Amino acid sequence: MTLASKYPWTALVGALAVSCGGSESGPPATGSPAASPPSFQQSPIVFGSYEPPGTFLLTLADPEPRQINDNYDYYPLLLSPSRQRLLQVTPNEDGSLPRGLVQIFEIAPEGARLGSFPTPEGEFLGFADEETLLLMSSDGLQRLDLNGAVQGGFALPAWVSRENGAFYRSAVSPDGTKIALTPTRESELGFETILLVVNSATGVVLDQWPLLGRGVPAWAGDGHVVVAMYAQGLYTFVLGEGSATGPFELPFQPCEAHVWVEPGRVLVGEVVSHGDYSTCDPAWLVSRDGARAEPLPGPVPLAFSPDGERILSIDQGALVVSKPDGSELEMLSDVLEPHDPAW
C-alpha cells in the first residue's frame, strides 16, 4: 500500500507525471538551457522499500542497493536536476502535522538531511535548481528554499476561482519554460474549467482554452502540444492556435495522459474496472494527433532514465529496466520490496 492510498491528502502533492527534475521529474523549470542528462548507466535509481524499510539507491553501473534514509512511506519522490538531492513527503503519525513533513536529502548512502518543513497546501512540481523548490497552489506558483521559506513566485490571474479550497493539477513543459494547469472560473452558467498555460518564470498567460470537463494536463515531448483527457476523449492544444483538436476516437476508455520518451506520442492510461472500483493503468502509446494508438510493448513504466534510453518498472517484486520497446529487459534486484521509484 502506498502513502497515496493510506493518506488521501497526498493526492494534492505531486503526480506521476511530471515535475522539474528530469525524466518523470522533468527538466529544470528555469528557462535556461538544460545540461546534458546523465546516462542511464550512471544516473541513480531511487526507490522505497517496505522490507527492509527505507529509501534506497542504486545505478545500473553499481546495482547493489544502498540505503539513503529510513523513510519507507512517502509520496511523492522528486529528484533535483543534478540527481544529487531528493524531496519526499512523509506522514506524521501523531497527527500534529496533518499534511505530513517535506524532507530533502542528499542522494548518497546514509544521505544527509538538507532541509524539512510541514507540507504546505498545493502540488510540488519539483526542483527549479539545487536550492529551490517549485510549489503550485490555488494562489499561484511559489519558489521555496529547502526549509520551506518563500523566495518568490507569481500569482495566478484574478479570474481563477479560489472557492472551496480550489486546487489545480499542473504539468511543466519538457523545456521547463511553461506550466499547464486546469483551474475554474465563474461564468453566467456557473463554474467552467479552463486549460491555462503560463510562463513558468513570470506567470504571464501564454494561452487558454475553455474545457467541457475536468482533466489532468500533460505535455507531448516536443513541448508544443498540451494533451488533456476528458471523459471518453483525447484533445490536443497547440500554443497560439486558439482552438482544440479532438476528441479523438480511441480503442479504449482513456483516463489520463503522461509524457513519453518519444516526442510525438504520449502514454495514456486505460480505465480498468475491478468490480466496485476502477484504476487508471498506463497501457497505451497514442500519437498526439490521435492517429495511432498502440498497446504498450513492454512493462508499464514507473520512471524514465533522464536520457530517455530506458524505462523502469516493477515486476513480481523486483525492479526491471528495459528499452522503451520492451527489449533488453534486465532485472535489477529481487532482495527488496521496491515501490514508488524515481530515476
Task: Please report the pLDDT score of residue 108 as a whole number.
Answer: 98
The pLDDT mean for the chain works out to 83
Each residue's pLDDT tens digit, 166-190: 567 889 888 888 999 988 888 888 8
214 has a pLDDT exceeding 90: no
Q: In angstroms, rounded to a whole number, what is the distance separating the alpha carbons of residues 304 and 310?
A: 6
Question: Cα-Cα-Cα-Cα dihedral of 156, 158, 160, 164, to 10°?
Answer: 100
Ramachandran assignment for 332, one of left (phi > 0), alpha (psi -120 to 50 degrees), beta (any other): alpha
Q: Which residues contact 316 (CB under 8 A, 6 or more apart)?
A: 334
Average pLDDT over residues 259-269: 89
pTM of the model as a whole = 0.82
Backbone angles phi, psi at 163, to 5 degrees: -75, 145
28 has a pLDDT exceeding 80: no
Task: Please report the pLDDT score of residue 335 as a whole number.
Answer: 67
Average pLDDT over residues 98-125: 94
pLDDT band with cut points at 50, 70 and 90 for residue 90? very high
Burial class (CB in 10 A: 0-12, 13-18, 19+), 98: exposed
Q: In angstroms, rounded to a whole number, what is the distance separating the alpha carbons of residues 215 and 169?
A: 8
254 has a pLDDT exceeding 70: yes
35 has a pLDDT exceeding 80: no
The more confident residue out of 145 and 35 is 145
74 has a pLDDT exceeding 70: yes
Q: In angstroms, rounded to a whole number, what is the distance separating the alpha carbons of residues 265 and 217?
A: 15
58 has a pLDDT exceeding 90: yes
15 has a pLDDT exceeding 60: no
